[in-house]
Structure 1
Amino acid sequence: MSKRRRDAEFTAFVQRASPELLRIAWFITGDVEQAKELVQASLTKTYTAWARVRPNEAMAYTRTVLVNQQRDTWRKRRREVLVDHTTEPEAAPVPQAPPRHLADDVVDQQELMAALARLPEQQRRVVVLRYYCDQSEAAVADQLDIAVGTVKSTAARGLASLRGHFATIDEGIR
């Protein structure tokens, strides 16, 4: 394949996939700026492998790169926190302008992001990939390099936490 054709195909893919990738990254990170950086880094890595990526699997490939990139960033940040005991970890910020998606039907988008931000990193990734991206347990396990049973239990704990959070809010409204 010529470089010009490859670049044209990749550009078309970026235009189609960027909004969805941004939403996924935003749900995983809880921050619009971090999500944009994560998508950019993921697309850069996808471009370098574009000759090996099958067109019908490009989105799945890039989503896997995105999740792995976020996990690497999280690990690096965690190591830095472990080394520097003088600073306290910051709470995950709630973004001001979320991308539009079906999840926008939730009555309070800010409350959803706050609830997701309270989940541990792995629970958040599993819940987003499993329920927002509508992936099977096996696909999530493959992308995160964990066992299917771990996906099931992590998703159950994450959903229980989210349900508990929203039940508390619902009770406060009545």
Structure 2
Amino acid sequence: MITRCLGGAMLLCLAGCGGGGGGNENGGPTPGQIDGQIDGQDVSDPSLLPTTGRASYDGYMRAALPTGEDGARVEYLADLTLAVNFGAGFDQIRGQASGFEARDGVPLSGGLAITDGSIFRGTDSSAAYSFDADLDGTLSDGRASYTIDASMDGEFINQTQTAVRGLVFGDITGPAGQDIFDGTFAGTRIPE
């Protein structure tokens, strides 16, 4: 689990990055709408998170991937879906990120699976995130494939968990070998 001070710096660094047309493939809210709903909202107290029930979130993921010429980083925007099972004993968070697009680049086919998510009800929300998950899969630009082996750390927003946000980070292996990448994600809860 990544600490919030390092994570916060990464989040601020990437929050203004542009992307392509991704982030709204499922007809959900746009990144700007999501950010507008989350800005100024308090983080959920991890000790008060539900122990039963489920929640689903639609949103976006931004990632700076080294897919450009000579391994240059390209900013991608993708659609994000998360399903949270607050009552599960394990694998509490699952989902996917897909539809990776860059403003002036080639879109990436494929997707990333979000699995093995855990909620941390005993964490200090001022120092660490309250959930994490694995983020893995393969993306392709039609010429080359890129294998992602990554993680995501996040937090729920306000006391009714109406949104999520956080960081993504990990390894990417492509034609130039292995490199690292990072990014951000956010989403709003889908009404039941």
Q: How does the TM-score come out when normalised to structure 1? A: 0.27
- Report which of the two has the higher share of helix: 1
Over alpha carbons, which structure has the higher Rg?
1
**TM-score of the two chains, using structure 2 as the length reference:** 0.25
Normalized per residue, which structure has more strand? 2
